Amino acid sequence: MRHGGQSQVLKRVGVRSLLLVGLTTAGALLLAWRFDSKVAETAATALLAAGPLYIAWKAFKHDRVEAAAVDLTAVTDRLADAVRTQWEAEAEVRRVNDPYPLPVAWRAADPDLVESWELLTDLARTWPGGPPNDPARWPADADGLADSDARIGEVFSERVPTRRLVVLGEPGAGKSVLLIHLLQDLIARRPAGGPVPVLFSLASWNPNQQRLQEWMADQLRRAHPGLHNPASAPASAVTSRPEAHDLARELLDARLILPLLDGFDELPPALHAVALDAINRALPAKQPLVLAARSAEYRAAVARSDAVVRLNGAAGIHLLPVTQEQAADYLRRDAGGSHTPAARRWDAVTAHLGTDTPVGQALGTPLGLFLARTIYNPRPQVVPPSAPVPHPDELCDTTVFPDRATVDRHLFNAFIPAAYTPRGPSLPRWSVAQARRTLTFLARHLELDRGGTADLAWWELHHATPTPIRRLMVGLVLGLLVAFLGGLVSEFLIGLMSGLLIGLVFGLRGSDANAPSVRLRWSPSTSAAVLRLGLVFGLFVGLLVGITVGFVSGLTIGLAFWLAIGFVGGFMAGLTTEEPDLTTTVGPAALLAQDRRIYLTGGLVLGLLLGSGLGLAVGFATGDMAVFPFGLALGLMGGLPQTAWTGWGTAKLYLVVRHRLPWHLMAFLQDAHQRGVLRQVGPVYQFRHIDLQRHLAQQPWPPAT
């Protein structure tokens, strides 16, 4: 018989054994109670069923684990579709292809920052199974890596012997956009079932607290909830840590994820060398990868006086400044074409491009060009502008802008008003002043409360509120809930005081928010068989334990109490972990909605059922239905899971009252993303550029209106 057939037989035997053991045990106890048999003897007889019951339960669990086996080829193909769709949409928001991709060129990285070319070729040839690409395509030396943007996929896949690459460049040189182009090219090149390139932002990784593989698995699960689903884990893992062998870990362990690690320089400087060492230890030599970093920060990390740490087996490229011709053509084309009146507005500026003047330096990078064209090439507006459109000639005034730093500050300051200029079919929902205030607060939050990280995660917003205030608010909310329900059946003042006391004790003991949850789903497609099975188990437990307890505390309260718990358990068996579609990527708003749904379905449903069941059971037994609202309230408090949504809600309420944030914060973040002020990386937002975040964080608070 095939293994799958054995599994089905094992499942049927397990379920039938559970039902048989449960019914016989419940029947034995019922007869003992009815005919006054000795309780001890009957209980001893019933205990003989414990062995078969345990075996049947383990068989059932074993079948559930085996059922999780999946086809990794199909998983990688669906994941590749999701990743491609995600970054096509993000490239559109970032206007990467509007009016056309800005050309970026590179040279080979400085030899002291990477491995020697001879070592790389020798290393690739000696790998088990041979090199990952055709040695005939390798250049004679590292200088052969020099090329331009459109050929980054070819350079990485065919010219780098080890397929391990470090991408270096100055601030704003276009490293992140180059990684997007590389990701799209690699997905277009990948065969069915091949590794999936995934872009990770290192800003949220702490190598002192979490291994790289674990951190990447967490990022994959949050961005693609389908990777929470169990995988075909080794037998040893089934009995020890099955949660460690979901699809995210399975893909990483099978080297079916090709990491593109961005934002190395956004880690704290003290962690740079530590992070490099951790990457070397976590990823084997034959694991392809890409690491992007600023040149100065990477050089400081690898050229320390106490130790030298390079990325093992990696070649390197260094991005070059945009040429004068490229920058001039780009600005004129974005203004409508070289022969339009709008394009001629750039004549004075283009004369300085490629020079050492302040404006020439500032507009020598893709970031500077993006800011300048957003400010000085306005798009059609809904209403006439309230002030004249600024002219790019002002950038050439060395009295006002004596150095590059002043030009950069001006571009960052002018970018927010330009991004919130009325466009499209309706006026902006938020004014320039409101947007500047909110963005400044968020930037200060990231710099001051989150250690300078670039990841704007909604579930970490509670760090912007004082801990005592946060816990007090949670306690007050829970206390008012108990007070309201208790006041329905007793004197209101007594209910209010007792409720507030219970709630405050519960809240002050600790209410820090957890990471968002994405696994629990109410699946309308849950089969009737699964739901019936859950109810049978629930009733079985209720009868068995209820009758047993009934010998001691009275059959009425025992049956009522444990049948309530048994029914809740059976009902919750109908709540399953629905398998999310791997072809979709969960962004910040969707992740918040999922976490809120878990709060409502998992917490409130369980709390209502458990509270109602316990309240009614005790109420019938004691004859005092006043205990029902308190049982309901306590059930709600105990049933509400520690979801991230609860912490987000209380923190947002506090910050809205303090005039730090708008009430519809998630809508604001989505709007800022569409306007190009923020970018989205999986489940988090980031500022368009880390330097924009740092610039806003340095502004005075509260900002001037």
Handedness of CA 75, 76, 78, 79 (dihedral sign): positive
3-state DSSP assignment of residue 406: helix
User: What's residue 7's pLDDT?
Assistant: 42
**Mean pLDDT value of segment 166-179:** 95
pLDDT, position 18 = 45
Helical H segments across 394-527, by residue range: 404-419, 432-444, 467-487, 492-508
- Burial annotation 397-433 (CB, 10 A radius, 16+ → b, else e): eeeebeebeebbebbbebbbebbbbebeeeebebeee
| Rounded (5°) CA angle 581-585-587 | 135
Mean pLDDT of 381-400: 81
Q: What is the maximal distance between C-alpha atoms in the chain?
A: 105
Cα 682 to Cα 199: distance, rounded to the nearest angstrom: 9
What is the β-pairing status of strands 315-319 and 289-294? unpaired
In 64-123, the DSSP E strands lie at 105-108
Determine the 3-state secondary structure of 196 from DSSP: strand
C-alpha distances in Å from residue 674, one per residue of 101, 224, 381:
19, 21, 16
H or E element, residue 372: helix 366-376
pLDDT confidence tier of residue 466, bands split at 50, 70 and 90: confident
- Nearest CA to 321 among 102, 144, 159, 99? 102
Using DSSP bridges, classify how beta strands 105-108 and 315-319 pair: parallel, antiparallel or unpaired.
antiparallel
Residue 91 has pLDDT above 70, yes or no: yes
**Predicted local distance difference test score (pLDDT) of residue 233:** 46
| Region 137-160 average pLDDT | 95
Q: Which two tokens mark 621? A: 């037994």
Confidence (pLDDT) at 49: 42
% of the chain surpassing 90 pLDDT: 48
- pLDDT above 70 (res 628): no
Distance from C-alpha of 693 to C-alpha of 266, rounded to nearest angstrom? 11
Average pLDDT over residues 9-37: 46
SS3 684: strand
Residue 207 vs residues 73, 152, 261, 574: alpha-carbon distances, Å:
31, 29, 14, 40
Contact indicator for 465, 441 with CB cutoff of 8 Å: no
Residue 649 pLDDT > 90, yes or no? no
Q: Which of 226-240, 501-515, 536-550, 658-672 has the highest mean pLDDT?
A: 658-672
Residue written as token pair 């970490």 = 460
- The confidence score (pLDDT) of residue 13 equals 42
CA distance 686 to 668: 14
Average pLDDT, the chain: 77
pLDDT at residue 548 in the model: 56
CB-CB contact of 107 with 317 (8 Å):
yes
* pLDDT, average across residues 375-382: 78
Give the per-residue pLDDT at 703: 83
Question: What's the rounded Cα separation, in Å, for the pair 158 and 489?
Answer: 76
Q: List pLDDT tens digits, range 400-448.
A: 999 999 999 999 999 999 999 876 555 678 999 999 999 999 999 999 9
Predicted pLDDT at 534: 46
pLDDT for the residue 320? 96
Cis peptide bond upstream of 702, omega within 30:
yes
* Secondary structure (3-state) at 220: helix
Cα 556 from Cα 618, distance rounded (Å): 10
SS3 292: strand
Express each pLDDT in 246-269 by its tens digit. 899 999 999 999 999 999 999 999
How many angstroms separate the CA atoms of 685 and 679, rounded? 6
Higher-confidence residue of 238 and 628: namely 628
CA distance 297 to 301: 6
Query: Residue 292 corresponds to which amino acid?
Result: A
Specify which of 223-232, 348-357, 642-651 reaches the highest per-range mean pLDDT: 348-357
- Per the model's pLDDT, the better-predicted residue between 53 and 260 turns out to be 260
Q: What does 26-45 look like in DSSP terms, one character per residue?
A: HHHHHHHHHTT--HHHHHHH
Tell whether the model's pLDDT for residue 313 goes beyond 80. Answer: yes
Token output for 54: 């345990």
Q: Compute the average pLDDT of residues 546-558.
A: 50
Of residues 389 and 501, more confidence is placed in 389
**Least confident piece of the model among 20-34, 195-209, 648-662:** 20-34
Residue 513 has pLDDT above 60, yes or no: no
Task: Report the distance separating Cα 223 and Cα 586, nearest Å.
Answer: 5
**Averaged pLDDT, 657-679:** 94
Instruction: Please report the pLDDT score of residue 545 as a whole number.
Output: 53
Higher pLDDT pick, 164 / 53: 164
H-only helix segments in 465-604:
467-487, 492-508, 528-553, 555-573, 588-598
The per-residue pLDDT for 246 is: 85
By mean pLDDT, which of 585-594, 602-611, 656-665, 676-685 is the weakest? 602-611
What confidence tens digit (pLDDT) does each residue in 558-604 have?
445 444 544 544 454 444 444 456 666 778 888 888 877 776 665 55
Q: What pTM, to 2 d.p., does this model score?
A: 0.78
Weakest-pLDDT range from 313-317, 381-385, 591-595: 381-385
